[in-house]
Chains A and B, each alone.
Chain A
Amino acid sequence: MTLTGRFVALLALGVVPIVLFGRASETAATVLGLWVVAVLALGILDLILAGSPRRVALARSLPSRVRLGETVTSDLYLTNTGTRRLNMVVRDAWQPSAGAGNNRTKLALPPGERRVVSLRLTPHRRGERRVDRVTVRSFGPLGLWARQATLQAPGQIRVLPPFNARKHLPSRITRLKELDGRTSLMVRGQGTEFDSLREYVRGDDVRSIDWRATARHNDVMVRTWRPERDRRVVVLIDSGRTSAARVDDEPRLDTAFEASLLLAALASTAGDHVDFIAYDRRVRGRVKGAQGAELLSRMVDTMALIEPELIETDWSAVPGQVRAVTSRQALVVLITSIDAAGASSALLSVLPQLTRRHTVIVASVTDPTTLAATHERGNREEVYRAAAAERALLDVARVSAAIRRQGAEVVTGSPADLPPALADRYIALKAAGRL
């Protein structure tokens, strides 16, 4: 139960008769009493005449998924099962991150009829966004008092990672295709496979000429090569403590998702098998054995629910996790953060186990503000800040060098640069036949 501004105004209007008729104190008190009683009586009458907010049947129509940053429409169907007309305001109580904006809707609902309340949802956070309840406030015919009830109407929508890095995908696929059918590779390693023979055209590397085939044909034939296919790529994301830190107002984990999505899309186009693991002390999400479009959709679906855990990552179990995915040689991409030497010692201690068998890339998000801070040295505080930033960069450089010494590759970049940088490194490794 509640009252409206109209009731308050009506009550306040009582000052007019009190001043007009209340020359004497007693008459004024009487007028006041009469006015209050009359207004209260009107209010109670209004309350009695208001339709019951409990006699409402609810149904929802919702898309199950939405990509972060996109807008969907949430429809709530209300049916008046009572006998009175409902003049109501409906509040569809979505979680704030669902981005429903103003979720209060005015509605007139005659008995037995159905109306839809549509809300435009623009979620601004990844994950599962829920709505549990709908609150209905039903006003009386005079609009003085209202009845209110909160009804259960659960619904949920899964907000997927935005995959903004997909804008880099076409250019990378083009470069991948350029690898295909190249006559000569700078390094012809074990990973390149013989593709076909074709006629020599001007510009081909003469070293690619297949003399035996040329002898059989009338033309000069060259061998073509294509990059190896059906390799395995294991993307392991560190969802531990350090992944919660925000760089450029984006958690490291989200950047890691962007990078791994771009890499997965690229590798899957190139014909490689991609497996995805999010791990800190236990597996938070895993995608295994999916290909093509299904791979990406399963990855975003899994990622949507992963949040940074505020615990230290157990690196000693990581080789076991990789072994559980594949026993063959694979490209293992560890997306984590490279910090001070102390914090990265656990990672460094297990790297040899991985590099012995696999090609390993350690990818890390760097903070562009650190780099910028080294150049701002206007006053005392800024100089100390620049020194601290320089020290942080030196730490990262030292750890990166240590990782390289263990035989792994290092890719670092700001949140915007890391996904394409990782994709480029993948293409470079593929071209070099090191997968």
Chain B
Amino acid sequence: MSLPTHAPSKPPAEDAVSTTPTLRSAGRRARFWVLAGAGAVLVAVISTVLTVGAADGGPLAADSATPIGARALVEVLHQQGVSVTAAASLDEAGTLASAAGDPTVFFFDPDGLLSAEQLTSMAQLAPRTIVASPDFLTLQTLAPAVGFGGVSQAKVTSARCTLPAAVNAETLSPGGPTLSIPAAADGLTGCFPSGGDAYALIQTVAFDRSLTLLADGTLLNNERIIEAGNAALALNLLGAGDELIWYLPTIADVPGTGSASLGELTPGWVTPTLVLLVLVTVAAAVWRGRRFGPLVAENLPVTVRASETMEGRARLYARSNARLRALDALRVGAVQRLAGHVGLSRLAALDEVIVMVATMTDRPSADVRSVLVDAIPASDAALVALSDRLLELERATARATTPLPPGRMDS
């Protein structure tokens, strides 16, 4: 309800004092927290940037400084004038190889991502291919004669072959998996034998190109490259050309199959609409949730019902089955009322009351006495029944003592 009023006789020129802080004063008060929050974000960003350098790659990742990475080897190769380029897919490796003059390909596929065809084309990329930890499919495709030789038991493994890289290395770290060459096979050079026909390194020719199989790829990682002659072997093998393509297959090499995914079938506007929905929800929350000024405090009185004590006592009676005590209370009240009905004092003797009531209501006084004094309730049902009899006795007495209205004598 608003009514225009006449110009006030004495207008209150003063603005009312506001208790809501202005944006500026609120900002000043919250400055510490804003700065603290900004500082925390800054620290988080910086630490993230710092740790990203040592980011973990997979095993033998060229830029990984973790124990299973191969950054140490790659760095040394760099210093030796070999340009190392990492390739993440077969296409990328192919592009790099065709661009290079005399490339060497290092191939390590612990997850077995490539198919037989892809392995074949990989082996034909460069004149020299070094395969670390070949799996069954790789061996089957590239060097079908070579098998697995089990884990080496030899304490010391020395070259024992004519391969220059192996000769330079002299020894390798003992242990680890090996590859085996069957006796009938030829064109295969095995180095670092560990008993029987098991070798740690096998060189062969596939598709007219040199193929070197290193049974244990972990020899090249940051942790183990410094052991025995591992480093010498690796540098000699990988540094044979000027350019090294460090090819670790990724999920990009796996050809996509199956029907289109749910994401591809969804229309483009669905995600933005969901985002908008979230924004609308937030806005609606602000709209409905913004308080129209502070709450008003008011001291309210406690509410205590006066009948609380009576109810409490009734529950106590009920819980402890205090039948006789409850009945006595009812009887005392009834006797006092009966005394009033029959014209005795409230303090009249009980026997007098019983006699008077029995006379008035024409009942045997033993009956009345039983209701008013003697009967002991054995159960709750008996208690209810006795209380009903008390009420009935009171009513009968009241009827007997109240004179009937005139004209109704016959009824």
Contact = CB atoms under 8 A, between A and B. Distances in A.
Contact of B1 (A117, A125, A388, A397): A117
Contact of A95 (B3, B296, B307, B318): B296
Interface residues on A, range: 35 or more
Interface residues of B, number: 71
Contacts of A118: 1, 3
B287 A7 contact: yes
A135 B18 CA distance: 9
Contact of B298 (A97, A387, A397): A97
Interface stretch (B78-86, B123-131, B143-151, B269-277): B269-277
A36 B326 CA distance: 75
A179 interface: no
Interface string B1-34: 1111101100111111111101100000000000
A396 B368 CA distance: 27
A310 B13 CA distance: 46
B301 A151 contact: no
A22 B271 CA distance: 10
Interface string A3-24: 1110110011011001100111
B362 interface: no
A91 B268 CA distance: 46
A392 B296 contact: no
B391 interface: yes
Interface in B258-280: 267-269, 271-273, 275-277, 279-280
B15 A54 contact: yes
A149 B20 CA distance: 5
Given A25-B271, A97-B298, A308-B301, A383 B384 contact: yes
Contact of B383 (A24, A31, A106, A383): A383
Contact of A152 (B17, B286, B298): B17
A137 B15 CA distance: 16
Interface stretch (A268-276, A287-295, A370-378): A370-378
Contacts of B387: 377, 383, 386
A95 B297 CA distance: 7
B380 interface: yes
A3 B23 CA distance: 16
A4 B268 contact: no
Interface stretch (A214-222, A245-253, A324-332): A245-253
Given A3-B286, A32-B272, A150 B293 contact: yes
A18 B280 CA distance: 14
A196 interface: no
B327 interface: yes
Contacts of B44: none
B48 to A, nearest CB: 26
Interface string B339-352: 00000000000000
What does DSSP make chain A's interface, helix, strand, loop or mixed? mixed
A56 B15 contact: yes
B314 A381 contact: yes
Contacts of A25: 268, 271-272
B240 interface: no
Given A388-B310, A392-B310, A104 B272 contact: no
B19 A18 contact: no
Contacts of B23: 1
A11 B280 contact: yes
Given A96-B296, A246-B306, A57 B13 contact: yes
Contacts of A14: 276
A105 B1 contact: yes
A7 B283 contact: yes
A8 B336 CA distance: 74
Interface string B320-339: 00000111011011001000
Most buried by B among A11, A113, A251, A390: A390
Interface string B85-110: 00000000000000000000000000
A28 interface: yes
Interface string A352-388: 0000000000000101011001110101110111111
A112 to B, nearest CB: 9
Interface string B300-321: 1111111111110111011000
A307 B318 CA distance: 35
A89 B317 CA distance: 58
A263 B306 CA distance: 24
A311 to B, nearest CB: 13
14 contacts: A23-B267, A25-B271, A28-B271, A56-B16, A77-B12, A114-B5, A151-B18, A152-B17, A245-B306, A374-B330, A377-B384, A383-B330, A387-B329, A390-B332
Given A81-B15, A246-B305, A394-B332, 12 more contacts: A1-B23, A2-B286, A19-B273, A55-B15, A57-B15, A118-B3, A148-B292, A153-B16, A246-B303, A310-B302, A387-B314, A388-B326
Report the 9 A-B pairs with minimum CB-CB distance, sorted nearest first: A135-B293, A387-B326, A22-B269, A25-B268, A151-B16, A388-B314, A245-B306, A2-B290, A390-B333
Interface of B: 1-5, 7-8, 11-20, 22-23, 267-269, 271-273, 275-277, 279-280, 283-284, 286-287, 290, 292-294, 296, 298, 300-311, 313-315, 317-318, 325-327, 329-330, 332-333, 336, 380, 383-384, 387-388, 391
Interface of A: 1-5, 7-8, 11-12, 14-15, 18-19, 22-29, 31-32, 35-36, 53-59, 77, 79, 81, 89, 91, 93-97, 104-108, 113-118, 125, 132-135, 137, 148-153, 244-247, 251-252, 307-308, 310, 337, 339, 365, 367, 369-370, 373-375, 377, 379-381, 383-394, 397
